[in-house]
Chains A and B, each alone.
Chain A
Amino acid sequence: SQQGEEDPQALSIQEGENATMNCSYKTSINNLQWYRQNSGRGLVHLILIRSNEREKHSGRLRVTLDTSKKSSSLLITASRAADTASYFCATDLNRDDKIIFGKGTRLHILP
């Protein structure tokens, strides 16, 4: 069953603008992760936020987590052409050994 749902499904912005993607999930979690996937490639881990954290930064990435609303957001600041990819959130369903991916947001950065 689908655990995470991202929105929007697709997003096009101008280079240099900020991109925000949201993820909602259904059950309690230990942590939530965000991954990037370039077209036709494997996924790359971006950032992990634990359930007792509210915000985390990594370079141009900022992730927030609201466990009361069961939602997370990924902000990419000062977008670049290389940020064009699909972005997936993944949650662990309180299990250590597997994660469930959401449907993803396809981000396109316009030159």
Chain B
Amino acid sequence: DAMVIQNPRYQVTQFGKPVTLSCSQTLNHNVMYWYQQKSSQAPKLLFHYYDKDFNNEADTPDNFQSRRPNTSFCFLDIRSPGLGDAAMYLCATSRDPSGSFYNEQFFGPGTRLTVL
């Protein structure tokens, strides 16, 4: 089945130790998104790629970076995690939203990040 896969599902890191979360998709979708979701809150968009074009949200801290080496993979790098970065990180994809495809998003199961 076509899907969005996130690894690992649970990640524990130490304060200040760089960490990378990965996302892959078999849907061949043009757009890939990274969201941060804290407990009982809405998912907050960090950035997204429209093909190779990177779109950063204005309030995303510089501590968060992303890479998309090809259509299938996208990575979230947290350069120096702080305690406040502990959250669920959700990856999502959507088809080319132009034309008639609208912008329904398909989510992975998420990676729960713990910062010690």
- Contact, CB under 8 Å: A40 / B103: no
- Contacting B at CB under 8 A, from A83-107, are 88, 92, 96-104, 106
User: For residue B106, which residues in chain A have a CB less than 8 angstroms away from its CB?
Assistant: 45
CB-based nearest A residue for B4: A42
Across the interface, do A99 and B105 meet the contact criterion of CB distance under 8 Å?
A: yes
Interface size on A, residues (CB 8 A): 24
B30 to chain A, nearest CB (A): 9
User: Contact at A99–B42, with CB atoms within 8 Å?
Assistant: no
Counting residue pairs across A and B whose Cβ atoms lie within 8 Å, the total is 60
Stretch in contact with the other chain, from B11-19, B64-72, B79-87, B108-116: B108-116
Chain A residue nearest to B44 in the complex (CB): A101
Q: Which residues of B contact A97 (CB under 8 A)?
A: 31, 48, 50, 55, 94, 97, 103
In the complex, the answer to whether B103 meets A99 with C-beta atoms within 8 Å is yes
Mask: chain A, 1-32; 1 = CB below 8 Å from B; 0 = not: 01000000000000000000000000000110
Nearest neighbor of B30 in chain A, beta-carbon distance: A97
Secondary structure class of chain B's binding surface, majority of residues: strand
* A41 within 8 Å of B (CB atoms): yes
Contact B97 A101 (CB under 8 A): no
Interface centre among A31, A48, A50, A97 (most CB of B within 10 A): A97
**Residue B27 CB within 8 A of the other chain:** no
Contact A101 B42 (CB under 8 A): yes
B104 touches A41 (CB 8 A): no
Q: Is the CB of B42 within 8 A of A102?
A: yes
Whether A41 pairs with B48 at a CB distance below 8 angstroms is no
Contact with B along A61-89 (1 / 0, CB 8 A): 00000000000000000000000000010
The answer to whether A40 touches B42, judged by C-beta atoms less than 8 angstroms apart, is: no
Contact A92 B103 (CB under 8 A): yes
17 A-B residue pairs with Cβ-Cβ distance under 8 Å, sorted by A, are A33-B104, A42-B4, A42-B110, A43-B43, A43-B92, A44-B107, A45-B105, A96-B97, A96-B103, A97-B50, A97-B55, A97-B94, A98-B45, A101-B43, A101-B44, A104-B42, A106-B40
